[in-house]
Structure 1
């Protein structure tokens, strides 16, 4: 607790005694099931701080048996929740939003320590979670159907109804946002939810969300939080009572989830990887472009699906851009975000670090020049710039998920479009130019789910549609009322007659 006091004192304008909202007495060695904290059938796991390797506590680990129990509980609770007046469901979501604001410092503390986020990223995640709940609070009052014409003398309607039990599988990198953006709208629309956070970030991405809704007055059984491995994820996808899957993670894992969901005839909303391009046209201001590029590639150690993974720079600006980006990267402070003012914290674990380093090494072997970085200390990987990248350079062609900026040059718009469209991903796109209409015209040539003119690729707002195409996922499923209603409800046809018809037999 003393370290938490020090963190809150350092990062708050006015120090106050820290909350005990997420105190380990609630969740030590436990999962959240049936509205209470109980041991999981998968044992326990340490909550590891990547910056130091220290244990911050122990979380309960679920097993497939817990999924079966949770699904039964959730299905039993869901019907009454769906029948609850829309005003009451909305009130729960509003209270949840207020609780995120009330407990911001404590949620940030865990985000910094468990995830390795710098404080700015941690605060942004909590802010988005608050807004996701407020946006979701508006969903219960939306019209839930429409009248449609009928050639018979009857009232004919298309009605939106809750899907039932929704399974949410969220990753380690931005665990609060990537969990709450499905949990909040699914609950608001009358569903029950089983959430499986990554065991590496189970407090930030699981316990925090459970505690928020516990305190917000969500009836027991409507939210289950089951940290676990692939066996738990598979059990959620295959259980017959779970009707919709919302998965965020790697493209490889997403393909397996989609295949499994297809075999079990259930909908799967897949938010997957990315290798987003930032295109710097010949009329751009180099300093502005470098500022955008550094943020897009190095923010949160590059561990964001929207991270700028490819920099395409017009040949007229290329050398200047590489020199200035490399200089900026070399000066970015790297270290423990809980104890130092840094720009780059640790990556999540040694496996992720080794993958990053292998891609950097393979790229150098393939002819790319390491203009900055390319080294690490423990889990701290320095901001890295790879000049002279080509379409087949490993770090340019693949999603790195680390603080690495491969830079390639282009001669004209056709070449820029060809390079940007290469590969299987289609999540986010940034274009830097003084000619906004030219930027929009270029964006129209590229298959991506998100476009930012004169901004980098990492942006997120609770009311904006979010999703990618191709290997980046199955389209916009999050953000905005229409996307959320489509994702977490079913449509049924309802007719009403004043008098039963007489049929000929």
Structure 2
């Protein structure tokens, strides 16, 4: 990146982005978008109505024909330009993530870098679409399989990693010839949607290729999924909402594909030969990054009984040093949770855990939306802290009698997104990892990882489909079988 003057910041208005134009939403409802740390007003805007949604899907449908007809080489420079703009606007993007989503500067920087890596990876994707030539069972026939764009993709993104988790669907979908309608979470309307529209507009993407509608789920959510135009709905969010998205997308009049990235209950397993200091450090980072508001976050730690006392001491020592406070300060580890509803749920879980007899090894009172780190010891498999995704700065520690028991505990969940295991023996680690029913397992590392060329997705109630690299290429295209005959068929009648 050249050392040039930073570009003038986008003047983000509270408008919908439809067919390359900015316009007010037509709903009677308004969005009051505030900084979760200090409650400063960031944006006040009229929300999108179903009519706005219809216009967005029509714009995407209209633009898709010409966009898909472009040669792949014409899309590459636009994606490269997008990457350059994201790099140039680093501090502006990070600033918005801190102000709107409560991201600490540490987390916001990680999210910016992950987004930049993703776009750079996708910049070559238009040239990577491959078909196949099949051997035909019919003499003289040529048999081909082409990968074609799906058409229009509807993307519903969450508030926790709003920029990255929106772009993870938007960018590859566009790269292979689809157009997109994006609906961000209301808590992160800017970083999950409007800011993205400004970035694409600045990069020169044609009108209608990306459309952003900011609307209430209760008003346009079902219509977004059941609309006749989109061929695929890419949803990232809770399992409960994801189930409803899946029902509507596949059970209505217009059946469509779904890509669902849902909840998690990631186990971090510490086997009896692990480096206990490394494992304890990883558990703290993997849980408390972004206040634990990550689907891959370490949701429970399963420790070999022989290492448990030392592990507890090391975790408690680290957690007590974590700074809770202003997310814009570089040494803050725990910033605010995203809203009061999220805080209320976390406080309820803490009260329920204590009522069930669990004692916090570390704790502290909430101040505003700031909730200090909480650690609970000797959590049992049937305790709510072990069964449920907490999505906050709460860390339950569990004891495993032996390796088989540890694997049993790791798989004792309805979820199967990410996981980790710590051991000094690579063969043992690989064997244990293969036994975990999850989409991702990391040996001697935290459960939080998402690389733009590696398959990201879960098993069981953690979702369907895979993101990133050629896995995303397959999700956002369809196989089209085409044959050619020279003529002269010998039909039976």
TM-score of the aligned structures, taking structure 1 as reference length: 0.93
Separation (CA, whole Å) in 2 of partners of 1:348 and 1:468: 24
1:331 is paired with a residue of what secondary structure? Answer: coil
Structure 1: any 5+ residue segments left out of the alignment?
1-12
- Say yes or no: does 1:480 pair with 2:469: yes
RMSD over aligned CA atoms reads: 1.8
Deviation at 1:251, TM superposition (A): 0.5
Identify the match of residue 307 of structure 1 among 297, 310, 320.
297
Q: CA deviation at 1:467?
A: 0.4
Question: Could you tell me whether the CA contact under 8 Å between 1:327 and 1:372 is conserved in 2?
Answer: no
State the SS of the aligned residue for 1:381: coil
Matching of residues 367-386 of structure 1 within 5 Å: 367-386=357-376
Q: What residue number does 2:61 align with?
A: 75
Aligned equivalent of 1:181: 168
Within the candidate set 192, 212, 217, 2:179 is matched to: 192
CA-to-aligned-CA distance 1:442-484 (integer Å, 9 cap, x gap): 1122101001000110111111110010011114x20121x11
| 320 and 233 in structure 1: CA distance in 2 versus 1, 3 angstrom threshold | same
Q: 1:70-100 deviations in whole A, cap 9, x for unaligned?
A: 1111111101100001101111111111111
1:208 and 2:195 correspond: yes
Q: Structure 1's 266 and 500: CA in aligned 2 closer, same or farther, altered over 3 A? A: farther
CA contact (8 A) 1:367 1:389 kept: no
Question: Residues 232 and 21 (structure 1 numbering): CA distance in 2 closer, same or farther, change over 3 Å?
Answer: farther
Deviation at 1:153, TM superposition (A): 2.1
- Uncovered stretches (5+) of structure 2, i.e. residues with no partner: none
Cα pair 2:6 2:89 within 8 Å, conserved: no
For 1:19-38, what aligned pairs fall within 5 Å after superposition?
Answer: 19-24=7-12, 28-38=13-23
Q: Distance in 2 between matches of 1:374 and 1:257?
A: 37
Post-superposition offset of 1:14: 12
> Normalized against structure 2, the TM-score is what?
0.96
Q: 2:26 aligns with which of 41, 45, 48?
A: 41
Point out the more displaced range, 491-500 or 60-69: 491-500
Task: Return the match for 1:238 from 226, 249, 252.
Answer: 226
> 1:224 aligned to 2:211?
yes
Q: Kindly state the Cα deviation for residue 129 of structure 1 after the two structures are TM-superposed.
A: 1.2
* Structure 2: distance between partners of 1:145 and 1:340: 48
Change (3 A) 1:15 1:144: closer
For the residue of structure 1 that corresponds to 2:274, the secondary structure is: coil
Distance 1:323 1:262 in 2: 50
The answer to whether the 8 Å contact 1:18/1:106 transfers is no
Query: Is contact 1:244-1:267 (8 Å) kept?
Result: yes
- Report the counterpart of residue 361 of structure 1 in structure 2: 351
TM superposition shift of 1:496: 2.2
1:393 pairs with 2:393: no
Residue number in structure 2 paired with 1:427:
417
Match of 1:345 among 313, 335, 347: 335
The superposition leaves residues 145-182 of structure 1 with CA deviations (integer Å, 9 ceiling, x where unpaired) of 11112214222111111000000000000001110010
